[in-house]
């Protein structure tokens, strides 16, 4: 039994779910505690820990010791092999559904480690996977019997406050980025879970609380340093290799291995106004109908997302609400707090709230508010649609499926994007979804393998039932590994140009472990 402080005791694996919820409310109720205990519980990590005796023969790809030693002499970083004691830990990714075993992992220490890693994979006929922070739901960061380029030890973020620029290594998490930028009162739009990687998020598009005001993450990208499939180190920006820069902004890891991102920064915070309003589930239709009207005229400094899930044990909710289905409006405002409160106040009258908790807090703290609900090690299956509007049919379907959540961790998320993200032309870069106002995330999440079937079936059925109300396209960053047939839809009219650029930069499709864009024939 471990004492986690604050009167919380950890008795065994069965308490894990309670603990996640406990720490969730600490954070959402304006946090004072850290939650590293949860990240480290062996129970959470179990699904990926395969005992040495169970490792299959196919792990042992036929690569000679000499070749490995030769590669070691060319890279500054570490080479991790299946026989190494750190191997299982190093190959962990966020989604425990994904179980793959690379033949070797090159833990890059610097950009110069990438060309020899690519050359090694080519010479030995190995597939290449690339890992930023390993958050992607599809798990393409991990390969079976191939070479994994792992950036998780390259996390440096350098900020030039005068120029309002950040120079970011590809293993940086959103927390690394936010902390460095906020130390100068600066930020750029990124996602809402601080352990997500800046690399994958940016390459697929990227949106979060600041998106209405400052656009998608990718709209704030100034340049990248990258290594191409033939091992060349190049820079891409509006002025240099502009076609590659166009493709990289939304085209995922298809075109090159990015070794540095340069971002534009904006003045944000450091204090922002944010929090939750929790309504009874039987008021869902009324709340969501009013929500969709409200956001049409809300200023871009204000963002409001809607979530339907079972209530965590939040301290501002009565005990009998915990564990019951609720509708949550999540509010975020940058600007004068008194003005923000006035803007948010009408939301409280959308129904008869069970409770609310809205206050000023540091932007970096709010960026971590949802982390305890999104810890690594759980099983996750997501589906997603874009919406230009939330029709009655769409809302009814969401409410119907929120009424039959198959696990306490499953949720339905409606993210509001719109604003600045909608003002960029569709052909300005590979990421082209400039008309959706909302992104729906069907977030299937659970702990036990035995729940796979029920949770996946729920997510698929909901995805199908809500499809008639969705707008075209798809967000590649929310796609599972089985959704390759949605890639063309994700890029729409931009796909042909992407296939042309792919042919130019990666004609052999070396970088294919991703939501793959095939080179034009
Ligand atoms: C809990 C959670 C919350 C999320 N919240 C948001 C959100 O609020 N907003 C949002 O927009 N998205 C969100 N996402 C989606 C997120 O943007 C994607 O999962 C993204 O791919 C994660 O990036 P990563 O670097 O951690 O992933 P990884 O799994 O490491 O990488 C994903 C893919 O990106 C490519 N890649 C990674 N690094 C490089 C590189 N250096 N060079 C070339 N290619 C590379 C590879 O193809 C790789 O397979 C969330 C995901 C999770 C799991």
Helix (H), strand (E), coil (C) string for 341-389: HHHHHHHHHHCCCCEEEEEEEEHHHHCCCCHHHCCCCCEEEEEEEEECC
235 DSSP assignment: E
Give residue 117's pLDDT: 98
| Other C-beta atoms lying within 10 Å of the C-beta of residue 80 | 21
Nearest CA, atom 16, ligand 1: 201
Distance CA 490, CA 430 (A): 10
Distance of CA 38 to the CA centre of its chain: 19
Question: What span, in angstroms and rounded, lies between the C-alpha atoms of 155 and 317?
Answer: 38
Contact 337, 161 (CB under 8 A): no
The atom of ligand 1 lying closest to the CA of 382 is 53
Q: Residue 2 Cα, ligand 1 centroid: separation in angstroms?
A: 33
* Residues framing ligand 1 (Cβ under 6 A): 94, 130-137, 140-141, 151, 170, 191-193, 196-197, 199-201, 203-208, 252-253, 257-258, 374, 477, 514
User: What residue's CA is closest to ligand 1, atom 48?
Assistant: 141
Question: What local confidence, expressed as pLDDT, does residue 484 receive?
Answer: 77
Q: Which of 100, 369, 411, 477 has most ligand 1 atoms within 8 Å of its beta carbon, as the pocket-test mutant?
A: 477
How far is residue 221's CA from residue 202's CA, in Å, rounded to a whole number?
A: 8
Task: Give me 289's structure tokens.
Answer: 């109908």
Q: Best of 117, 132, 244 to mutate for ligand 1, by most ligand atoms within 8 A of CB?
A: 132
Going from the Cα of 197 to the center of ligand 1, the distance in angstroms, rounded, reads 6
Alpha helix ranges (H) inside 6-136 = 16-28, 36-40, 42-45, 65-74, 87-90, 114-123
Distance CA 417, CA 434 (A): 9
Q: What is the pLDDT of residue 437?
A: 96
In testing the pocket of ligand 1, which one of 199, 370, 411 has its CB within 8 Å of the most ligand atoms?
199
pLDDT of residue 61: 62
CA of 252 to the centre of ligand 1 (A): 9
Say if residues 151 and 177 touch (Cβ distance below 8 Å).
Answer: no
Task: Tell me what pLDDT residue 89 has.
Answer: 95
Residues of the chain with pLDDT under 50: 1-27, 29-60
| Distance from the alpha carbon of residue 421 to the mean position of ligand 1, in angstroms | 19
Nearest to 58 by CA among 96, 103, 91: 103
- For the CA of 206, the closest atom of ligand 1 is 11
């Amino acid at each position: 039994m471990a004492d986690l402080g604050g009167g919380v005791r950890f008795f065994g694996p069965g308490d894990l779910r309670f603990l996640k919820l406990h720490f969730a409310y600490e954070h959402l109720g304006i946090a004072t505690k850290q939650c590293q205990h949860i990240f480290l519980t062996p129970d959470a990590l179990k699904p990926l820990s395969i005992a040495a005796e169970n490792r299959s023969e196919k792990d042992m790809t036929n690569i000679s010791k000499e070749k490995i030693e030769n590669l070691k002499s060319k890279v500054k970083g570490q080479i991790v092999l299946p026989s190494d004691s750190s191997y299982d830990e190093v190959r962990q990714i966020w989604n425990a559904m994904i179980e793959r075993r690379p033949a070797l992992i090159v833990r890059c220490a610097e950009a110069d480690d990438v060309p020899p890693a690519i050359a090694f994979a080519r010479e030995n006929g190995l597939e290449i996977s690339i890992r930023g922070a390993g958050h992607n739901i599809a798990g393409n960061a991990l390969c079976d019997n191939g070479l994994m380029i792992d950036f998780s030890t390259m996390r440096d973020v350098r900020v030039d406050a005068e120029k309002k620029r950040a120079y970011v290594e590809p293993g940086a998490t959103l927390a690394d980025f936010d902390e460095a930028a906020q130390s100068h009162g600066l930020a750029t739009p990124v996602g809402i879970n601080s352990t997500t990687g800046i690399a994958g998020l940016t390459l697929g598009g990227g949106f979060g609380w600041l998106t209405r005001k400052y656009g998608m993450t990718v709209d704030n990208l100034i340049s990248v340093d990258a290594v191409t499939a033939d091992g060349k180190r190049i820079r891409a920006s509006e002025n240099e290799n502009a076609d590659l820069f166009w493709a990289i902004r939304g085209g995922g890891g298809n075109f090159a291995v990015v070794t540095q991102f340069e971002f534009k920064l904006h003045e944000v915070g450091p204090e922002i106004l944010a929090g939750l309003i929790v309504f009874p589930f039987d008021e869902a239709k009324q709340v969501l109908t009013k929500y969709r009207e409200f956001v049409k005229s809300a200023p871009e400094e204000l963002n409001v997302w809607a979530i339907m899930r079972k209530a965590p044990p939040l301290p501002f909710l009565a005990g009998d609400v915990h564990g019951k289905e609720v509708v949550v409006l999540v509010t975020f405002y940058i600007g004068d707090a008194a003005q923000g409160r006035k803007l948010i106040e009408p939301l409280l009258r959308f129904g008869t709230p069970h409770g609310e908790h809205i206050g000023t807090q540091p932007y970096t703290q709010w960026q971590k508010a949802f982390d305890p609900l999104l810890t690594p090690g759980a099983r996750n299956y997501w589906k997603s649609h874009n919406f230009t509007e939330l029709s009655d049919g769409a809302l009814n379907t969401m409410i119907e499926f929120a009424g039959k959540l198959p696990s306490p961790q499953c949720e339905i998320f409606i993210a509001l994007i719109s604003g600045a993200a909608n003002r960029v032309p569709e052909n300005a870069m590979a990421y082209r979804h400039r008309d959706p106002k909302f992104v729906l995330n069907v977030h299937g999440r659970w702990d036990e393998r035995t729940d796979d079937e029920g949770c996946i079936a729920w997510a698929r059925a909901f995805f199908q039932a809500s499809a008639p109300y969705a707008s075209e396209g798809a967000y590649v960053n929310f796609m599972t590994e089985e959704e390759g047939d949605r890639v063309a839809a994700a890029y729409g009219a931009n796909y042909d140009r992407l296939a042309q650029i792919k042919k130019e930069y990666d004609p052999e499709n070396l970088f294919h472990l991703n939501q793959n864009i095939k080179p034009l024939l």
